[in-house]
Structure 1
Amino acid sequence: LATGRRCLIVRNGLFSYRWSQILDVGDIAQNTVVCTARAESEDPQSAWAPAPIDEVVAAIRAQRSEVVFAPHVETAAGILLPEEYVRALADAVHEVGGLLVLDSIASGAIWVDMDALGVDVLLSAPQKGWSGSPGAGYVMLSDAGREAVTSRTSSSFAIDLARWLWISEEYVAGRAPYHATMPTDTLARNAVAMTETRERGFEALRAAQWDLGTRVRALLAERGLPSVAADGFASPSVAVVHTTDPGLRTGALFREQGLQIAAGVPLHCGEPESFSTFRIGLFGLDKLADVDGTVDRLSVALDRIGL
């Protein structure tokens, strides 16, 4: 979709910086504009917010962007793009005839209504919110997204979306054509997990995700750990907080308490060299089915660490 196109990237951290890496290494885009998150103050532990939406919309219009890439939730910062922000991105890029690609891999149960928000291509994966195992990428297309895929020739053989779209449709029709060896067992297990998610109720899980994220963020704030994400942009699926303690940053102190968290990573948004964080992923049916227990276990671990 991006080959030879004018692309704009909303960069809120390392995992949206990946779009720049992908496009640059493959010499894919015609040119790229990047709109980066910024700190709210000079404080080394300042909160961060996405680029102001008016600024991004102006950049889309100036570049006449053909593809806009944005992270629904940025895993490196715990920043969530609110629905009105995503809708404004979609309106702006559609105004100039382009497409909106939304990375929702870290969205957890904060489901995205593609039609309501104007998303053309939505990316997800099995290993986080879907409680599955890695082994495939999930790509959802609007009518405009599908038209863009089928009307262009891909520069990739392995990741040719048009080919994989045809493969998926053939499987639905009861046939089994070949393009690459499929991770069949993994896909089958992931389908079971997705069915369980549907049976539990998408809206019930969305409510549980917000409840869990809100309570975990409040707990971390009470322990003196300031959020990287600014008010209004705090994701309930990933909480990222500042710390100056190497044992917290690497997760070593949590491992001693039997908890696995994720080490902090850079944002690539002009942060100071002293930038240091740790990340807590709040994904999966196990956590959403036991919000009280999840919060209690984290609270006990923080007590034992001395926070």
Structure 2
Amino acid sequence: MEAVARTFATDEHVMVLRNGWFSYRWTEIFDMGGDSGKIPKSHTVLKAQPISDNTTDNKVQYQPYPIDQVVAKIQEERPAVFFCPHVETSVGMILPDDYLRKVAQAMHDVGGLLVLDCIASGTVWVDMKDIGVDVLISAPQKGWTGPPCAALVQLSERAAEQMQNKQETSFSMSLKRWGAIMDTYENGGFAYHTTMPTDALRDFHEISVETLQFGLPQLKQAQLEMGAQARAALNARGLTSVAAPGFDAPGVLVYYSPGESTENPVMFQKFKQEGLQIAMGVPWKIDEPEGLKTFRIGLFGLDKLGNINQTVSTLETAMDNVLTAVVGPSDASDVVA
């Protein structure tokens, strides 16, 4: 992320769509080093918003910044780069294709680039040419079921051309330098910039071949189907998704914890006792109320995608046991009913 930011955002005005904690990371990267060391000269943040303030249980659902207002902001400020997350892990929110197309068109109309973080997309693949994405960031883990060992950065022709004309500002995080290394390898040569994580890269290659053998369209459909079934199971148990309908990601499910006093570590431990690893809720940095209690479930991996019914059944059993442990048998049955 920092390599991309340094390459395309240095001394520019840029814009960030912040849907949660992991898109707040762009701001963290920009601001490292204080005023003298900031990467862009300025940046505007467009935060996800609650769909309604009217709630009695403080379990508000969120949606991305309205697309018409995003387009208007782009036309007004003419940013050089627009950074956004395809899937925001901290709230389980996905940006639909039509939303992204409108952002891409607006950015291209003002001569800018669209940078899309797809690390948490799972197997909901993004067609860069169809959508208009200029820089797509991914990684071997999550949707690729590989070891975390490297960054995957894909560039459109426009982005690749711009990269060649950019001044490098980092030795180790120079996207331009790493692009040259990759070009050398693709042309059958060898170049050294650092010691590569060779074993992990080999493992990633092997699992990527297995992924291709499964079929990319089939994996995308499986991710959508599994996510829909898993969300239906949680919704049926009276739980509330943080992401609003239409923006609820199929690979990352973030829900408010049951009960008023169920702290995040408690949910983590209860699922662990059921043999499942989840992630605790984190702050979102979108002006949400303090003290929200949430838990996160990741539906990544070929093992899950190849066994949807078993995966959802395992989740349902664990969820029922967790609800019983957290809110009690009678309250749990009331929730399920």
Q: Shorter-chain-normalised TM-score: which range?
A: over 0.9
Tell me the equivalent position of 1:28.
39
Q: Secondary structure at the match of 1:239?
A: strand
Tell me the equivalent position of 1:2.
9
Q: Choose from 216, 227, 246 the match for 2:263.
A: 246
CA deviation after TM superposition for structure 1 residue 181, in Å:
1.1
Tell me the equivalent position of 1:272.
289
State the alpha-carbon separation in 2 of the partners of residues 158 and 21 from structure 1: 19
Tell me the equivalent position of 1:77.
91
CA deviation after TM superposition for structure 1 residue 274, in Å:
2.8
Instruction: Give the letter aligned to residue 19 of structure 2.
Output: N
Tell me the equivalent position of 2:280.
263
State the alpha-carbon separation in 2 of the partners of residues 153 and 284 from structure 1: 38
CA deviation after TM superposition for structure 1 residue 247, in Å:
5.7
| Identity between Structure 1 and Structure 2 (%) | 47
Q: Which runs of 5+ in 1 are unaligned?
A: none
Deviations 1:180-217 (A, max 9, x none): 11111101100111111111100100110001000111
Moved over 6 A (4+): none
Tell me the equivalent position of 2:316.
299
Tell me the equivalent position of 2:235.
221
State the alpha-carbon separation in 2 of the partners of residues 249 and 11 from structure 1: 28
Q: Which runs of 5+ in 2 are unaligned?
A: 1-7, 325-331, 333-337
C-alpha distance 248-216 of structure 1, shift in aligned 2 (>3 A): farther
Q: Secondary structure at the match of 1:232?
A: coil
Bigger drift between 229-238 and 165-174 goes to: 165-174
State the alpha-carbon separation in 2 of the partners of residues 182 and 120 from structure 1: 26
Instruction: Give the letter aligned to residue 78 of structure 2.
Output: R
Given that residues 40 and 49 in structure 1 are in contact (C-alpha distance below 8 angstroms), is that contact kept between their aligned partners in structure 2?
A: yes
CA deviation after TM superposition for structure 1 residue 154, in Å:
2.0
Tell me the equivalent position of 2:144.
130
CA deviation after TM superposition for structure 1 residue 148, in Å:
1.5
Given that residues 74 and 80 in structure 1 are in contact (C-alpha distance below 8 angstroms), is that contact kept between their aligned partners in structure 2?
A: yes
State the alpha-carbon separation in 2 of the partners of residues 240 and 74 from structure 1: 10
Given that residues 249 and 264 in structure 1 are in contact (C-alpha distance below 8 angstroms), is that contact kept between their aligned partners in structure 2?
A: no
Deviations 1:242-277 (A, max 9, x none): 114226765111001110001001110000013221
Q: Secondary structure at the match of 1:299?
A: helix
Given that residues 9 and 69 in structure 1 are in contact (C-alpha distance below 8 angstroms), is that contact kept between their aligned partners in structure 2?
A: yes
Given that residues 38 and 48 in structure 1 are in contact (C-alpha distance below 8 angstroms), is that contact kept between their aligned partners in structure 2?
A: yes
Instruction: Give the letter aligned to residue 52 of structure 2.
Output: S
Tell me the equivalent position of 2:20.
13
Deviations 1:131-176 (A, max 9, x none): 0001100000000110121110121111111111111111112211
State the alpha-carbon separation in 2 of the partners of residues 85 and 247 from structure 1: 32
State the alpha-carbon separation in 2 of the partners of residues 284 and 4 from structure 1: 39
State the alpha-carbon separation in 2 of the partners of residues 175 and 185 from structure 1: 19
Q: Secondary structure at the match of 1:107?
A: coil
Bigger drift between 150-159 and 95-104 goes to: 150-159
Instruction: Give the length in aligned residue pairs.
Output: 307
Given that residues 248 and 278 in structure 1 are in contact (C-alpha distance below 8 angstroms), is that contact kept between their aligned partners in structure 2?
A: no
State the alpha-carbon separation in 1 of the partners of residues 148 and 263 from structure 2: 29
State the alpha-carbon separation in 2 of the partners of residues 250 and 295 from structure 1: 18
Given that residues 248 and 254 in structure 1 are in contact (C-alpha distance below 8 angstroms), is that contact kept between their aligned partners in structure 2?
A: no
Tell me the equivalent position of 2:307.
290
Structure having the higher Rg: 2
State the alpha-carbon separation in 2 of the partners of residues 23 and 92 from structure 1: 23
CA deviation after TM superposition for structure 1 residue 235, in Å:
0.5
Given that residues 249 and 278 in structure 1 are in contact (C-alpha distance below 8 angstroms), is that contact kept between their aligned partners in structure 2?
A: no
Structure with the higher fraction of residues in helix conformation: 2
Tell me the equivalent position of 2:327.
none
State the alpha-carbon separation in 2 of the partners of residues 200 and 83 from structure 1: 24
C-alpha distance 70-116 of structure 1, shift in aligned 2 (>3 A): same
Tell me the equivalent position of 1:145.
159
State the alpha-carbon separation in 1 of the partners of residues 316 and 121 from structure 2: 23
Does the alignment pair 1:108 with 2:115?
A: no
Instruction: Give the letter aligned to residue 137 of structure 1.
Output: A
Tell me the equivalent position of 1:37.
48
Please tell me the root mean square deviation across aligned C-alpha atoms, in Å: 1.1
Does the alignment pair 1:61 with 2:93?
A: no
Tell me the equivalent position of 2:168.
154
- Equivalent residues in 2 for 1:90-101 (5 A)? 90-101=104-115
TM-score, length of structure 1 as denominator length: 0.98
State the alpha-carbon separation in 1 of the partners of residues 275 and 192 from structure 2: 43
State the alpha-carbon separation in 2 of the partners of residues 212 and 62 from structure 1: 40
Tell me the equivalent position of 1:193.
207
